[in-house]
A = this chain, B = another copy of it.
Amino acid sequence: MAEPNQSLPVDLFIDLDRSGPVPLYFQISSRIEQAIHDGTLPPGSRLENEVALGNRLGLSRPTIRRAIQELVDKGLLVRRRGIGTQVVHGKVSRGVELTSLYEDLERSGQKPDTRVLSTEIGEADERMAEELGVEVGSPVLHIKRLRSAGGVPIAILDNVLPADFTDIDLGDLSKHGLYQLLRARGVTMRVAKQRIGARDATAHEAGLLDIPKGSAVLTMSRTAFDNSGRAVEWGQHCYRPDLYSFEMTLVER
């Protein structure tokens, strides 16, 4: 037999903080996720069933279900009715999230560095108006940056923001990520739509990224919306494909 699916349900000792602001379901799911990552719950192992887990922790089944659902959505667990809940095989990896390249690099321990190529307050052309949901001709902030890590250029970032943000402090752009600046202004990105593709680099891009002219670049264009559903940012980025790629986990619903 290839897989020891017979493994018994694993006990999880969880201290719950009922007074704090952290939801109970989140405390549970975090603890289980940690157990998966540190090997306490190896791939293929079965979780205790929802009812028993709830009884043991003094929680109701909906709370337990919600905690488990979080991890199912992340692709860490699989549920089968009549069977139980199991840990998915395969090494786990961070998925695509609503973060920026800057944060990606910071998290992976690299030191991001940004060179602002140009900033300009102009009028929205037809394409920008469509992407941002504003009227043609309305003021927009157009930013072009070159993002590096460890002195090596990684990506060319071309972003357009609607009128509300034309007063952004451009000096901060070289020290912080765009998403950090937006969040510091109280903007919370909730939904984004993006498209990932590839094409040959232009001569200008090849020069900036320090790659041979005409070689491949990975492209991503994204429109992000805040929690009122309004478009906050439209970006067209191109990445050095040997230094960056997109990783994600898909879950069938």
Contacts and interface: CB of A to CB of B under 8 A. Distances in A.
A212 to B, nearest CB: 9
A75 B193 CA distance: 9
A117 B229 CA distance: 47
A14 interface: no
Contact of A249 (B2, B97, B133, B191): B191
Give the oligomeric copy count: 2
A119 interface: no
A199 interface: yes
Interface in A228-253: 228-231, 239, 241-242, 244-252
A194 B249 CA distance: 6
Given A89-B225, A229-B86, A245 B193 contact: no
A174 interface: no
B78 A193 contact: no
A241 B196 CA distance: 10
A43 interface: yes
A188 B90 CA distance: 17
A104 to B, nearest CB: 13
Contacts of A248: 96, 193-196, 248
A108 B77 CA distance: 32
Interface of A: 2-3, 5, 43-44, 62, 73, 75, 78, 80, 86-90, 93, 96-98, 133-135, 188-201, 214-219, 223, 225, 227-231, 239, 241-242, 244-252
14 contacts: A62-B62, A78-B191, A78-B227, A80-B228, A89-B225, A97-B250, A98-B251, A190-B252, A192-B250, A193-B249, A196-B218, A198-B198, A199-B242, A214-B214
Given A88-B229, A193-B250, A197-B244, 8 more contacts: A5-B228, A62-B62, A75-B191, A89-B231, A191-B251, A193-B247, A193-B249, A198-B239
